[in-house]
Structure 1
Amino acid sequence: MASPKFKPIGSNSSGVTPEPDQKFDVFYKDLKETEKRDAVLTPKQQIDRLLRPGASYANLNPYEVLQVDPRTPFEDVKKKFRR
């Protein structure tokens, strides 16, 4: 008697699952593009960016608010915060 073939959880019908790293890379690329776009904003524009409707979720992440990479050394984050 042949045993039934089970697909791993999360697999699609083609048997090819997107790798989590690919999804993260797409997200991270989009984040970096947004950072570049926002890097030229004036202080007034930065405040408007943080207070715009729908921005409250992004403001929960301190790295997003400061526009720094989560792997940034703490001293560099401190400098960015004090600016």
Structure 2
Amino acid sequence: MYKVKVYVTLRESVLDPQGEAVKNALHSMNYGEVGSVRIGKYMELEIEKGSKEVEETVNEICSRLLSNPVIENYRYEIEECVAL
């Protein structure tokens, strides 16, 4: 079994109004040293496939469902889980 950590973020060229709102709130709380904030999504998946199929499956899941490839980028980390 594999544990996959997926991170989805807006592309740099896409405006992030939620991140801008958080930055403004931080500035109003006297955290003026914060230069920019980008908001994203984090997901964990457990996949029961052979190691050769996991990366292909994760790429397909991310591009078809978990992210919008027009405005978002994704990256992931795959960890092999050891059964106890």
TM-score (norm 2): 0.23
Higher relative contact order (CA 8 A, sep 6+): 2
Q: Please state which structure has a larger fraction of its residues in strand.
A: 2
Higher Cα Rg, which structure: 1
